[in-house]
Structure 1
Amino acid sequence: MSRENAVNLAALAGAWRLERFVYRWPDGRELAPLGEARGQLLYLLDGDGEPARMAVQVAACRRPPFDPASEASLAAHFQSGFAYTGGWALEGDAVHHDVEIASLPFWEGTRLTRQVALEGGRLQLTTEEPSPQLPEGGYMTILEWTRDAL
């Protein structure tokens, strides 16, 4: 996906449906950390057309049956997705997520920055920041989205 298309607030605003979530290493190897996943991303503007709120939720499509009495089951479900919400800002080809509430508490109060590529109804967000699933890093996280209707 090309980064040459100018990204603007109006083009980014709205609802997006997750199509693909992978980690990619420099040698081209990829890993889908949640297996097949589903998700939704929302970028909302205020009445003046400025960034207001954003929210994202990503979850594995296949999760084991939930047993609230089992710590292993609780841990497996906690590791099978993530969600957060807060403010957002767009600077050039980078979008900043100012996290206020998150399923991963250590994200709260942080700024998560993603590189943006927008082409037609497809959005790609990438980062080289390590993920909680693989904290050693060395890969790029890629989330690909398509425009969704609310």
Structure 2
Amino acid sequence: MSDPVLPTPEALAGAWRLQRFVYRWPDGRERAPLGEAAGQLLYQLDDVGRPGRMAVQVVARQRPPLDLGSDASLAAHFQSGFAYGGDWSLSGRAVHHDVDIASLPFWEGARLTREVTLEADRLVLATDAPSPQLPEGGYTTILEWTRDAL
């Protein structure tokens, strides 16, 4: 792998495929909150090459059959992933997602900031902000992506 580079809008623009989604504690322990997960991340540039729109979707690969007549089944499916979109911007090694639509309503209107590590076609987004699935915090959320060849 090459050395991490300072991210630029051009370097982040495009489609990314999720490789790994984990919570990591300072002692090295990890937990995959969705088990094996799948996801896609899109960063678009505006007409003059500046950050424009972004969208992300992450889901558990293993989900039980959906029973539309069961509140428990509907709740389990709601908890098996997340999606949001909005504008994005860069500030040094931080990417900011200014969310205007989300599967979790309390993310709407929020700025979600992620630390960026970019090495060739590998992107890692990390945050120590607590996740809705594990609100007590104390860990870093890590999402590892590879560039998706369209």
User: TM-score interval w.r.t. the shorter chain?
Assistant: over 0.9
The CA RMSD measured in Å over matched residues stands at 1.3
Equivalent residue number for residue 84 of structure 2: 84
* Equivalent residue number for residue 14 of structure 1: 14
Following superposition, the deviation at residue 3 of structure 1 comes to: 7.6
Give the corresponding residue for 1:120: 120
Match of 1:110, as an amino acid? A
Deviations along 1:16-56, one digit per CA (max 9) or x if unpaired, are 00000000000000000000000000000011001110000
Q: How far apart are 1:58 and its partner, in Å?
A: 0.2
Measure, in 2, the Cα distance between the counterparts of 1:2 and 1:92. Answer: 19
Task: Please say if residues 2 and 118 of structure 1, whose CA atoms lie closer than 8 Å, have aligned partners that are also in contact.
Answer: no
| Equivalent residue number for residue 68 of structure 2 | 68
Over 3 Å counting, the alpha-carbon distance change for 1:34 and 1:3 in structure 2 is farther
Distance 1:102 1:24 in 2: 24
Q: Is contact 1:67-1:74 (8 Å) kept?
A: yes
Q: Work out the number of aligned pairs and report it.
A: 150
Q: 1:136/1:3 Cα in 2 relative to 1: closer, same or farther (>3 Å)? A: farther
Is the CA contact 1:2–1:117 (under 8 Å) kept in the aligned structure 2?
Answer: no
Gaps of 5+ in 1: none
- The Cα of 1:7 is off from its aligned counterpart by 1.0
Provide the residue aligned with 1:45 in structure 2.
45
Matched residues in 2 for 1:17 and 1:66: separation?
25
Percent identical: 74
SS of the equivalent of 1:76 reads: helix
1:131 aligned residue: 131
